[in-house]
Structure 1
Amino acid sequence: MATWTPDPSFYPSPRMAMQAPPERLAYVAMLNVESAARPDALGVVDVDPNSSRYGQLLARVDMPNTGDELHHFGWNACSSALCPYAPHPHVERRYLIVPGLRSSRIHILDIKPDPASPKIVKVIEPQEVAARANYSRPHTLHCGPEGIYVSALGNGEGNGGGPGGVFLMDHETFDVLGQWEIDRGPQFLAYDVWWHLGQDTMVTSEWGTPDMIENGLDPDLLLGAKYGHRVHFWDLRKRRHQQTIDLGPEYQLALELRPAHDPTKTHGFMNAVVNLTDLSSSIWLWHREGDRWAMRKIIDIPAEPADPDQLPPLLKGFKAVPPLVTDIDLSLDDRWLYVACWGTGEMRRYDVADPFQPKLTSSVRLGGIVARAGHPGADGALNGGPQMVEVSRDGRRVYFTNSLYRTWDEQFYPEGIKSWMVKLDAAPDGSLAIDERFFLRFDDGFRGHQVRLEGGDASSDSYCYP
């Protein structure tokens, strides 16, 4: 009798996933900034330290159209396929789902038979996303038990407005199934989406509608506290809004969600990019308080004083560099939180074994608006700063790139970001060390953004067993 054998990269628990073989390849979204006539691409990077091409770009898959603005992407399926209430053991981690944030086009890339040479096998046009889900500008996606969950910033009317929300795609056919929400309640702005599978809870955060972000950060909207500052909690099974928590209007740009990986835990972390009162960034903890969700600010990262002559026009009047925490990542053992400060050029590592009392254990500086800190494997000063961060399954390696979003890059780094990807070694004692052998400088025409690791990483999978 034939039996299904689950994909070997699926693991019932985060503890088992930490014992997985090390990644040999990384996939990177590459934004083309050189010419409107050239497309974005997906890069394949050698991350095997025993390879003669370690730290080099092995392949580049150009998209079939221009103007996509590739941003966040993910897998068609992952460890959540092993959840007991919605098992899909026949699916495999075979396809990368790569949306264009500006074009609303979604690309399906097959990594078999050769993971170092992905092939585009399907392109979903924006008209299909709009017709089936009434959304546009797909931003973040996660493989879940019922399919592929995609957050979208805009509505399907093509007017750059909201509401944004979440839609579902099929694991295997990649058909857009439709809008996820049955009752969205007061939610209007969208950004990230993730969940606590053990608590049947979805969490979403807020950035802005497409017309609020696509031409750059709007100072009037920012100072008017119009960007996202709320977090929403949903009944995952019933697809209904349950609760909103407002951080306060001064905490602008409530972005990345990193729930605990252990499904018995009921907490997670989120970053707020800027506090309007002092330009600081902050990290917030959500947790259960009785039968409700609550949030608490657990980390403040201050702005750093700076000579106005060294600042871009947007910041000269403030005489300071904001940290601009634009991404965070949580190791699979829920022990270490990584915080990327894109403005000051710092990557911070916190011990969050007690999530209410985080402890800063190490930091590394590369790039930065003023600091321009260098890398031992590269010549000269660097610009950009730690932005999209990804952590290996075993928690020993941290990868990051230095570009945020084209129009926002140009406001904070008006000279033009020279894009790079680097790797840090994370030791069990909480320290961080730059891998001197790993410095990938992208061609001037490209900027690297999100990184995904072969077989999964710390922000790709969710688990149903502790």
Structure 2
Amino acid sequence: MRQTLRAGVVSALCLGIVGALAGAAHADETCNSPYVTKLIKGQEDYVYVWALGVEGLGDGSDKLVTVDANPKSRRYGKVLNSVSVGSRGEAHHMGFTDDRRFLWAGGLADSKIHVFDIGTDPARPKLVQTIGDLVDRTGYVGPHTYYALPGRMLVQALSNNRDKGGVTGMALYNNRGAFIAAYPMPTDGGGDGYGYDLAVNPKKNVLLTSSFTGFNNYTRPLGELVNDAEAMKRFGNTMVVWDLKAMKARTVLSVP
């Protein structure tokens, strides 16, 4: 079923879910999943920066950089550690596992997911795993959002390997990086099949996903893209309300 909502209603819905998640966390550290435990209360000591690699700078690879964030520290604002992943894949987003011991971070271009151990020594994370089977397992490319569920990570992709358009889905892994299942974004009932971000409200058994555009669009220079009328038509305009436990789409919302 597809429903049309005015922008203000959609914004209120998003804010309501975000507010519910923030209330569930009971901590000062920012996190978008209510399942993440051991969040830091009060002053944080470190900031983790998932940085884009640039050809000609260092080894040219994407890196996880640790910065001292405690104003009382003598190294406040200084880089404490840098971990190279040995490749350049268009670093974008990252997310904690539910136990907050590991940080998952990925690339929109190469579809690799890098897992960092931040629990053993928070000041000096270590790259412990690179997950490279997303495309082979699902046909999806461009992992965008890494969302903690109990013992698992739900990864929202942006595109697919067939035509590099916007039709895509979500991939579910366990915390050890083993693939569990794929969930395609709905293309019936008014769905456009596009994906972007996600959030959950466990009390309401709701997963909410949004939409964006595919690889062919998001890898183009912005100035070139916005002047291509046909390409600008290939953006999603839906949000989907899912049954979280069943991982089935309930309602497709049209977002003008």
RMSD of aligned residue pairs (Cα, Å): 2.5
Say whether residues 1:179 and 2:179 are aligned partners: no
Offset at residue 22 of structure 1 (A): 2.1
Write out aligned runs for 1:375-394 (5 A): none
| 1:212 partner SS | helix
User: How much has 1:59 moved relative to structure 2?
Assistant: 1.2
Larger CA Rg, structure 1 vs 2: 1
Matches of 1:42 and 1:156 in 2, distance apart?
A: 27
Q: d(CA) in 1 for partners of 2:156 and 2:79?
A: 29
Name the amino acid aligned to 2:95.
Answer: G
Matched, 1:227 2:248: no
Q: Distance in 2 between matches of 1:180 and 1:21?
A: 37
Matched residues in 1 for 2:47 and 2:155: separation? 22
1:328-367 equivalence runs, <5 A: none
Q: CA deviation at 1:40?
A: 1.0
Distance 1:129 1:119, change over 3 A: same
CA distance in 2, matches of 1:15, 1:117: 25
Matched, 1:190 2:201: no
TM-score calculated relative to the size of structure 2: 0.77
Alignment gaps of 5+ in structure 1: 1-11, 78-91, 249-466
Equivalent in 115, 122, 125 of residue 115 of structure 1: 122
Counting only pairs closer than 5 Å after superposition, residues 79-90 of structure 1 correspond to structure 2 as none
Matches within 5 A, 1:259-270: none
Aligned match of 1:267: none
Q: 1:75 aligns with which of 96, 112, 125?
A: 96
Q: Secondary structure at the match of 2:135?
A: helix
Deviation string, structure 1 residues 401-425 (Cα, Å, up to 9, x no partner): xxxxxxxxxxxxxxxxxxxxxxxxx
**1:48 paired residue number:** 70
Q: How does 1:121-270 map to 2 (within 5 A)?
A: 121-125=128-132, 128-145=133-150, 147-157=152-162, 159-171=163-175, 173-181=176-184, 185=188, 186-217=191-222, 218-219=225-226, 220-221=228-229, 224-248=232-256
The structure that is helix-richer by fraction is 2
Q: Is there any run of 5+ residues in structure 2 with no aligned partner, and where?
A: 1-21, 29-39
TM-score (norm 1): 0.44
> Partner of 1:72: helix, strand, or coil?
strand
2:112 to 105, 112, 115: 105
Query: 1:28 corresponds to which letter in structure 2?
Result: V
3-state SS of 2:158 partner: strand
Could you say if the C-alpha distance between residues 76 and 245 of structure 1 is closer, same or farther in structure 2, counting changes exceeding 3 Å?
same
Q: CA contact under 8 A between 1:182 and 1:239: conserved in structure 2? A: no
Measured after TM superposition, the shift of residue 119 of structure 1 is 0.8
* Contact residue 129 and residue 156 of structure 1 kept, 8 A: no
Q: Which residue identity lines up with residue 163 of structure 1 in the other structure?
A: V
How many residues matched?
A: 219
Once the two structures are superposed, residues 90-117 of structure 1 have per-residue CA deviations (whole angstroms, 9 ceiling, x without a partner) of xx32111111111101111112421111
Distance 1:221 1:192, change over 3 A: farther
